[in-house]
Amino acid sequence: MARRTKEEAEETRAQILDAAERVFYANGVSATSLADIAAAAGVTRGAIYWHFQNKVDVFQAMLDRRLLPQEELARACESEDEPDPLGNMRQLLVQLLQRMHANDEYRRVGEILQYKCEYSSEAGGLRQQMQAFQQECDQRIARTLRNAVNRGQLPADLDCQRAAICMHAYLDGLQAHWLLKPEAYDLGAHAHAMIEALIDMLHSKALRTI
């Protein structure tokens, strides 16, 4: 009986996140209330508060759910024991672009992040949370780059922090560009070439330490 109750709770949580994703996409994050999410999910606001503290918490859980499938490969990139951190990073980034192209849910979350995530006072700590998320991404990319440097896969004098910021900006810009008009080109088909261009950038003299 207890197991069934736990399964039901997980189903309700997933139902809330599915609804939040749809409503955030339709209305934008700032214009969406917990009441809107509850109505779309067919649950009470109390059910939402059982699983989440507030709207920002719902937003973060929605984001985490889409990032989770790639987490294992991301952690492998960051491990000092990984023999091919650069190869793993290349694979991870190609998968990211291909999933953006092929998966409707993943693409919807990407569009919410790029175009429907307003940092208004109504959104509470969303801006701070996204700043922390961006900083963590930069740090994780930099760790992977340092591992690749230590493995002799990248120049020994690469400025890993500056390179991480450039990589992050490239990926954000590429996704934002494609999401605005997905029919313009096949992102999945071009994913390998796009990432190879990014990897080539890491050998630029402009990214070396001074």
Which amino acid belongs to residue 36?
A: D
CB burial class (10 A; 0-12, 13-18, 19+) of residue 190? middle
For the chain, give the secondary structure using H, E and C. Answer: CHHHHHHHHHHHHHHHHHHHHHHHHHHCCCCCCHHHHHHHHCCCHHHHHHHCCCHHHHHHHHHHHHHHHHHHHHHHHHCCCCCCHHHHHHHHHHHHHHHHHHCHHHHHHHHHHHHCCCCCHHHCCHHHHHHHHHHHHHHHHHHHHHHHHHCCCCCCCECHHHHHHHHHHHHHHHHHHHHHCHHHCCHHHHHHHHHHHHHHHCCCHHHECC
Q: Provide the pLDDT confidence category of residue 198 given band limits of 50, 70 and 90.
A: very high
Q: Where are the domains of the chain?
A: 2-207
The whole-angstrom separation of Cα 171 and Cα 177 is: 10
Q: What percent of the chain has pLDDT over 70?
A: 94
Give the CATH superfamily of 2-207.
Tetracycline Repressor, domain 2 (1.10.357.10)
Give the mean pLDDT of 49-57.
91
The whole-number pLDDT of residue 1 equals 39
The whole-number pLDDT of residue 73 equals 77
pLDDT digits (tens, 9 = 90+) for 5-26: 888 888 999 999 999 999 999 9
Kindly tell me if the per-residue pLDDT of 146 is higher than 50.
Answer: yes
Q: Provide the pLDDT confidence category of residue 3 given band limits of 50, 70 and 90.
A: low
pTM of the model: 0.85
The whole-angstrom separation of Cα 133 and Cα 79 is: 20
